[in-house]
Chain A
């Protein structure tokens, strides 16, 4: 749907007037538009609120002032759920914006229903595209999660990963090292459990952990190519049993009625837990005045490191005019530029999406001060992402449901996983 990009008159014009005003430009090709070209408006729908929204506004302001003929309008559309509902509605009414934030899981649905633009034409474009180095600078795991069979449908934006939070006070009290492996976790949990404290914690949506362990064991969750769920394998059973055993033994628990693990962790009720890196600020406020804590990378199993990355990307919709798409592309590039992503990361706690972003001195200083933010980027190499298939959310619902039954002891691990897999496949094959 986005052929013929090259023909747009704005294309060549781009490079010609770098002199105009932008002084802080670092990326080649993101220069301001020619004065003669038509002004373009780009709507950008997102689900960022509060300080995050402020940050986005600042970026947009900066971008708008650098691009005379482009006006990006950021629009907050509530929560992710709200945003998705609104995109559904707008898609149906043919009134989609040019850009939107999108949870990685739903991008397949967008693709399946054909309303996102592939980005390859832009990326590969001589003038406005990305150079190979630039492309290589995007963190691999994010890049992979943004492409389907070599076609890019999104750029990574607000990304998070699973990390391990731990109560430093408690560990010190028991003279324990920071855990690195699942064996460490088990040890520590066994040691510290008791006296109202549970050693290990999992979020209610611990299917991410399940996937990670599964991966560490060499299993496959869903085969993206065939859209087939395969988690009821031996590895899957082993992964699930591992977590279930800990819970059954009482050395681990789920957030349960506390909704988010940050609460019991902050109270000191659990010594460690695995959760999203985006939860760092919440752990911070829950723990304030209660406990000392820090975070580290996701534990390894038999030397295998694997951890899932999730979060949001930016997508471009195909209902927009070409000029708008082009302008939107400029903005996408801008948002994922090392400077911006570094700043975004520092302001929001999300991960930087460019390797080079970590090298900036500001970012270094930031991590120095907030060591817990280090854990995320440290595991880029071990990262993987949840299979992106249409029907992914249905599978998620099924898995959550069945694992609950397993935990409640109503189904054995084997039964539960098998039934989850069967149901998932049924949902996926539709």
Chain B
């Protein structure tokens, strides 16, 4: 139909315009990673380098033990994501499906923790970790990040939208609460869970200050720490930084590309009448 074709075109135009804006920094990052140093800060900007300096990548790789960092990043990201998913699912379930004394208060208190700038928490946390003897261990990198109020809140909202009839059916079918959570709620909340996981993975992957603060040895550090190698007192080696950054975010992009369709593929919601 003409009209819907028209509106379709408008949608594409709008989306494309937005997409250009969204793409800019990314394109810039890639193009900078291939620039000669003098092109980096040129004004007006150079978008296509005169000469493509692929050696920036090899040079960037040399600056820090990126292979080791990569492995650490993977370990920390995977473990903390799994940990967060578990604690989140459990807590979100309690907040969405169980009526208990003080529920609203506990929830409000947890929300409250999000309102305090993390800057003031850094030092007390360091001291705690230090008392636990966790400084410079994987535990310090992972455990404090295995629970997140944000994720609990998000999932709780999603869980609240799942019809209670299903929990009725499951109970009748002899399903314990815990199994119900696992077999019914979690699969139905797949889009939200994937969202939580994606955001978590990205945050964890990009975390910079924390790994620096709680580790001392190279063996435990993660990729973003490697990126700091290009920053000096008087400036930044942008071309190398961007080359390294590109390599760092590439896995995230691929992951997102793969996972986003699960967010939107959706879960069939029929099976209920009324």
A–B touch (CB < 8 A): the answer is yes
| Complex Cα–Cα for A88 and B126 (A) | 10
Which residues on A sit within 8 Å (CB–CB) of B240?
50
Measured between C-beta atoms, what is the minimum distance from B252 to chain A in Å?
21
Q: Which single member of B36, B126, B209 contacts A78 (CB below 8 Å)? A: B209
Q: A82-B228, A85-B213, A279-B235 are in contact. Are A290 and B38 (CB under 8 A)?
A: yes
The answer on a CB contact under 8 Å between A78 and B234 is no
CB distance from A253 to the nearest CB of B (A): 14
Residues of A within 8 A of B233 (CB): 47, 80, 158, 160, 276, 278
Q: Is the CB of A89 within 8 A of B37?
A: no
Given contacts A75-B216, A92-B126, contact A49 B37 (CB under 8 A): no
The chain A residue sitting closest to B44, CB to CB, is: A267
Q: For the complex, is A288 an interface residue (Cβ under 8 Å from B)?
A: yes
Rounded to whole Å, the gap between the CB of B51 and the closest CB of chain A is: 11
Q: How far is the CB of B26 from chain A (nearest CB, A)?
A: 21
Contact partner of B130 among A95, A266, A279, CB < 8 A? A95
Cα of A92 to Cα of B130 in the assembled complex, Å: 10
Q: What residues on B are CB-neighbors of A258 within 8 Å?
A: 41, 43
- With A and B bound together, what is the CA distance between A78 and B123 in angstroms? 16
Contact between A263 and B123 (Cβ–Cβ < 8 Å)? no
Question: In chain B, residues 119-164, which have Cβ atoms closer than 8 Å to a Cβ of chain A?
Answer: 122-123, 126-127, 130-131, 135
Q: Mark B51-65, 1 if CB is under 8 A from A, else 0.
A: 000000000000100
Scan B215-250; emit 1 where CB is below 8 A from any A CB, else 0. Answer: 011000000010011111111010010000000000
Say yes or no: B230 contacts A89, CB within 8 Å: no
Is A213 interfacial (CB-CB < 8 Å)?
no
Nearest-CB residue, chain A, relative to B230 = A50
Contacting pair A85 B229 (CB below 8 A): no
Question: With A82-B212, A92-B126, A285-B38 known to touch, is A49 a contact of B234 (CB < 8 Å)?
Answer: no
**Contact A267 B42, CB 8 Å, known A89-B122, A93-B127, A282-B234:** yes
CB-based nearest B residue for A349: B234
A residues 76-115 in Cβ contact with B at 8 Å: 76-80, 82, 85-86, 88-90, 92-95
Cβ-defined contact, A260 with B235, below 8 A: yes
Q: A50-B229, A262-B235 are in contact. Are A286 and B37 (CB under 8 A)?
A: yes
Point out the residues of chain B lying under 8 angstroms from A276, CB to CB.
233-234
Choose among A45, A75, A278 the residue that contacts B234 (Cβ–Cβ < 8 A): A278
A49 with B126, Cβ < 8 A, contacts A89-B213, A263-B43 known: no
- Lowest 9 CB-CB distances: which A-B pairs, in order? A285-B37, A93-B130, A89-B126, A288-B38, A49-B229, A282-B235, A279-B234, A263-B41, A278-B234
Q: Answer yes or no: B192 CB below 8 A from chain A CBs.
A: no
The answer to whether A288 touches B36, judged by C-beta atoms less than 8 angstroms apart, is yes
Which residues of A are found within 8 Å of B197, using beta-carbon distances? none
Give which listed residue, A77, A92, A282, contacts B123 with CB less than 8 A: A92
Q: Which of A158, A264, A267, A269 has the largest count of B CB atoms less than 10 A from its CB? A: A267
Interface size class of A (residues with CB under 8 A): 35 or more
- State whether A288 touches B37 (Cβ < 8 A): yes
* Contact across chains for B231 and A49 when beta carbons are under 8 A apart: yes
Nearest Cβ on chain B to A283's Cβ, whole angstroms: 9
Across chains A and B, the number of contacting residue pairs, with CB separation under 8 Å, is: 103
Say whether B212 contacts A78, CB under 8 Å: yes
Smallest distance from the beta carbon of A148 to chain B beta carbons, Å? 24
Q: Is the interface of B mostly helix, strand, loop or mixed?
A: helix
Chain A residues near B135 (CB-CB < 8 A): 93, 95
How far is the CB of B132 from the nearest CB of chain A, in Å? 11
Closest to B241 in A: A50
Residues of B at the A interface (CB closer than 8 Å) are: 36-38, 40-43, 63, 122-123, 126-127, 130-131, 135, 208-209, 212-213, 216-217, 225, 228-235, 237, 240
Q: How far is the CB of A320 from chain B (nearest CB, A)?
A: 15
Q: Say whether, besides A92-B127, A279-B234, A282-B234, A53 and B229 are in contact (CB < 8 Å).
A: yes
A43 interface residue per 8 A CB criterion = yes
Whether A49 contacts B235 by the Cβ 8 Å rule is: no
Q: Using Cβ atoms and an 8 Å threshold, which residues of chain B touch A288?
A: 36-38
Instruction: Find the B residue at minimum CB distance from A311.
Output: B233
| Chain A residues whose CB sits within 8 angstroms of the CB of B216 once the complex forms | 43, 45, 75
- Establish whether residues B127 and A52, one from each chain, have CB atoms under 8 Å apart when the complex forms: no
Bound-state Cα–Cα, A74 to B235, Å: 22
**What is the distance, in angstroms, from A26's C-beta to the closest C-beta of chain B?**
29
Is there a chain B Cβ closer than 8 Å to A287's Cβ? yes
**In the bound complex, do residue A77 and residue B229 qualify as a contact, i.e. CB atoms below 8 Å apart?**
no
Q: Distance (Å) between the CB of A91 and the closest chain B CB? A: 9
Interface residue? A4 (CB, 8 A):
no
Docked pose: A128 CA to B220 CA in angstroms: 36
Whether A150 is near chain B, meaning CB under 8 Å from some CB there, is no
A289 within 8 A of B: yes
In the bound complex, CA of A75 to CA of B218 (Å):
8
| Min C-beta distance of B209 to chain A, whole Å | 6
User: Of all chain A residues, which has the CB nearest B131?
Assistant: A93
Q: What residues on B are CB-neighbors of A92 within 8 Å? A: 123, 126-127
Q: Closest residue of chain A to B217, judged by CB?
A: A75
Q: Is the CB of A50 within 8 A of B63?
A: yes
User: CB distance A82 to B213 under 8 Å?
Assistant: yes
- Give min CB distance, B69 to chain A, whole Å: 12
| Complex interface: chain A residues within 8 A of B36 (CB) | 288-289
Min distance, Cβ A15 to any Cβ of chain B, angstroms = 33
- Chain B residues, CB < 8 A from A281: 234
Determine the residue in chain B with the shortest Cβ distance to A94: B130
Other A-B pairs beyond A78-B212, A93-B131, 14, CB < 8 Å: A43-B216, A50-B230, A53-B229, A78-B225, A79-B228, A85-B213, A93-B126, A95-B130, A158-B233, A260-B234, A263-B43, A282-B234, A286-B37, A287-B38
Kindly list chain A residues whose C-beta atoms are within 8 Å of the C-beta of B38. Answer: 266, 285-290
